[in-house]
Structure 1
């Protein structure tokens, strides 16, 4: 045999022996207990609470899982240390020297904590790569050899509020322990937002500790909570919050609330408070801010009740537009109580009791009402019952009992908003009737739920009901426009819009007596040729000024101007 043939034969024998060794190695890996782990592994995937999304697409509350990454330096093969350091440095964003220092330990080392799902996925991919490269040394465990590598562990379920205190306290927050809704929208829609099922994967695991997906693997997918989408526009919300924040210090007010509602549908575009909090960062002084005062602060409405009483009189034909009444030059004796006016008028048209806010005029008009009828009308307008806005823990306030209305004093002062209590949402719902042709619409913050796959399912349309005739609603609306054109609300005028509303300045009762403290409010509407909005502003206990014309009305005006700038209402013409 020549030399060349001998070399070819030798090479063939080497390749044959090498191939036999390779096959033996594959057989060993596939059958030997050294590398095959026949144990069963169970993995649980925590489902997520649904998000809360504004009308302009911002996730104002969202859920994230947080993870940690660890490894044991004793399990790293010294021969593979360099490649391990390079790869871990890239993924962990630590310097190579930092990673080398981690390898000096002899116990579990935490590489990263509080990472999000995206980073966790990247680390899991790295773990798979390291396992395939056999960077980690197999360890004997209970008669078997297992390779323990990079561990990515789910730490906790985290609720995030990216815009901090925006939309609080209406938005609410959740418990850290179980992510159940505690307050606000988080509480009201908890059943929809809360996840329904954990994800569970059950099957054999491979040498790297990963579940083998085959016909024996059992898997149930996690079922996240549904997300909810709001009618609230975050841009407008933040702008209105800024308006309230700027007004509060100058007025030294306890709080200021404002709400903008689409008149036809009840959709709430903004529902803002000056008293907010950032979830999980609540300081002792801001605990009171967690109460949703739109439905939990009940107060005497004062003069804002006058158009409502007047509409009852119109419906029962107990008063006529243009009918002359005597306002007694602003002073009227009602039993032992003296009723006084800021504007001292004599004989004037009945509607001037609203336009110039005459307590004397409204007292006399209220006395014309039958007690039972008066109470029935107040209930028809939604008082002493829930407004049904989608917020929890609503307080309904109270109206006098029929027996109490047998007193002329009780009935008379009810005509200008004392002797009853209501909440903000009840009052804005009542005013919406005048701008909506006599029909009441339930106010609503949430538009739809977002189910699996991202499909939106609109919530049922709220019930509507006629409260007063279209004719009466039109008359009251015109009176409210007069209030702005020449009465107590003139500073609300905004060209080229149709603006109407009613001021209210009411004493606050403390310890059973009326103190020198006031709530100031302005409830009304702003319309153009295409849009109709009902808007309410309540200033609680302002101390530098207390008349609504000086407190609530300027805030109303700024909100309307902002809505013009943002395209919700027509801007003034720039033409000469």
Structure 2
């Protein structure tokens, strides 16, 4: 009996100890919970409130309006239109929501495809559904009120002039960043700075309330170009028609204001539509007037003659014997089309005599022609800041390089862009003053730098007018009612370490009007196919049509009037 009572007492003692242990643990747990609750409602209240706000308050970006690009007269070339982006938060979505069928219809895709895309990305928190949609479509999507479907406002770039100005203006990507042309060159000032605002959102990310603006969006600056959109359209139309007629590989044309150096038009073929780049050929992206190099050929001869006049050893009437129609220089034969005999400096330009300019170049200081070409901008950056613009090649020549000096005198052995070539003719139109070219509108003309003595350029300009006359090589460049002058160039294309016999570059560069030069126009057509390939037959007519249209659009008065009929002949009739 005593042993059983002892066991009973031990069991009761053990049970009592366990009860007290449980009670102590319960008291400790309650105390811990009470302590934590006290802490949450006192010391950690501010922290918890901030954490809650972070899950409900959001800082949203306010897109900045990209700066406008206009022509010199304020006509828009690049504008930003309001659009929207539709995106999804698949993790917060009900994939069985009936509204997804209507959403798919609005986005223009099969409902099953949309559901499959959302299912495949069900763990993601962000998924683009469609970008740059119209504001009307965005409003329709918002009206569906589907959990996890969001609409952000942004801007889309639009180019009113389409393919006409695209090589100059360029374009932006879907995020509004400049990718080509001046959109790329001036991206930093065009893009602006986005603003920020504080908003209250619900658990699925929908904006419930706009709290306050944190920072206003800073729109980008506008950019006013030097081009005149009227002249640009007209030049583009004429160049495109000629490239198609002659089945050429490509072509370019540049129109400069001879008084300011401003680019009034710059066009290329082939081109592309920046508003629809779905079938864009990358070869059409190049702004060939600034990136493609070619040997200018006979378009350089006026500068060889100018260098001769600057030497003081020649006048415009000095005779140079070009017989028998060719000359040999260190074993190399340089030829004219025929034996012209004795030619004055004026006739050397009129007839485009290779022999004549070769004799002039070899009779002068070794660097005379090269220095003048450098001073008028060949082989140097034009300073436009255009992405990818090339400087060309203007080699240094010593006195022993007779063949190279000879070929440089008529435009071989050096390379240039069409814009450089047009710029080089500005001093001929401005009495020897060189003005830098610009793609932006100038409020005030620059002073310029004198590269020829006074009086030399006007003489060369009058020589260039004879090229358009009945005995010249550029008769098709004539413009009714205006005195114009210029120089043709027909260059064999370089191929495989030599020159191709059946591929040419046709060039014409000229000035209008001669009496008071206002325009410098350069035209280049690459590899015209067919029987017509000379610069005087291919490029000169393009110059004529562009000059005629530009002079009238700019209200430049005619300087060539029809001669009055002979009064005696009228009386006899």
TM range (shorter): 0.7 to 0.9
Residue 394 of structure 1, CA deviation: 1.7
Alpha carbons 2:132, 2:155 under 8 Å: kept: no
534, 547, 561: which one aligns with 1:560? 547
Alpha carbons 1:390, 1:446 under 8 Å: kept: no
Change (3 A) 1:119 1:282: closer
Identify unmatched segments of 5+ residues in structure 2. 1-53, 95-104, 107-127, 565-573
Listed one character per residue, the Cα deviations across residues 226-285 of structure 1 (whole Å, up to 9, x for unaligned) are 121112222321222111111112212111111111111111211111211123744778
Superposition CA RMSD, Å: 4.0
Moved more, 483-492 or 416-425: 483-492
Q: What TM-score, normalized to structure 2?
A: 0.74
> Aligned equivalents of 1:482 and 1:432: distance in 2?
19
> Aligned equivalents of 1:38 and 1:397: distance in 2?
59
Alpha carbons 1:172, 1:182 under 8 Å: kept: yes
- Which residue pairs with 2:421 in the alignment? 427
> Aligned equivalents of 2:267 and 2:129: distance in 1?
43
> Aligned equivalents of 1:112 and 1:174: distance in 2?
18
How many residue pairs are counted as aligned between the two chains?
Answer: 481
Q: Does 1:353 align with 2:348?
A: yes
Secondary structure at 1:470 match in 2: coil
Residue 339 of structure 1, CA deviation: 1.3
Residue 327 of structure 1, CA deviation: 1.3
Alpha carbons 2:84, 2:155 under 8 Å: kept: no
Q: Does 1:202 align with 2:211?
A: no
Alpha carbons 1:41, 1:211 under 8 Å: kept: no
Alpha carbons 1:65, 1:154 under 8 Å: kept: no
Secondary structure at 2:168 match in 1: coil
Residue 165 of structure 1, CA deviation: 1.2
Identify unmatched segments of 5+ residues in structure 1. 1-36, 75-91, 94-109, 131-135, 137-147, 449-457
> Aligned equivalents of 1:184 and 1:41: distance in 2?
37
Residue 65 of structure 1, CA deviation: 3.9
- Which residue pairs with 2:20 in the alignment? none
Moved more, 323-332 or 351-360: 323-332
493, 498, 516: which one aligns with 1:513? 498
Residue 381 of structure 1, CA deviation: 1.5
249, 270, 275: which one aligns with 2:265? 270
- Which residue pairs with 2:4 in the alignment? none
> Aligned equivalents of 2:85 and 2:393: distance in 1?
54
Listed one character per residue, the Cα deviations across residues 445-502 of structure 1 (whole Å, up to 9, x for unaligned) are 2227xxxxxxxxx6x8656211112211111111111211241122222232120111
> Aligned equivalents of 1:69 and 1:338: distance in 2?
70
Change (3 A) 1:422 1:111: closer
> Aligned equivalents of 1:503 and 1:414: distance in 2?
16
Alpha carbons 1:387, 1:443 under 8 Å: kept: yes
Secondary structure at 2:458 match in 1: helix
465, 472, 490: which one aligns with 2:475? 490
- Which residue pairs with 1:173 in the alignment? 171
> Aligned equivalents of 1:444 and 1:188: distance in 2?
13
Q: Does 1:525 align with 2:508?
A: no
Residue 406 of structure 1, CA deviation: 1.7
Change (3 A) 1:114 1:351: closer
Alpha carbons 1:63, 1:159 under 8 Å: kept: yes
Alpha carbons 1:63, 1:158 under 8 Å: kept: yes
- Report matched runs for 1:128-277 at 5 Å: 153-154=151-152, 157-176=155-174, 178-195=175-192, 197-202=193-198, 209-211=207-209, 217-277=212-272
> Aligned equivalents of 2:413 and 2:431: distance in 1?
28
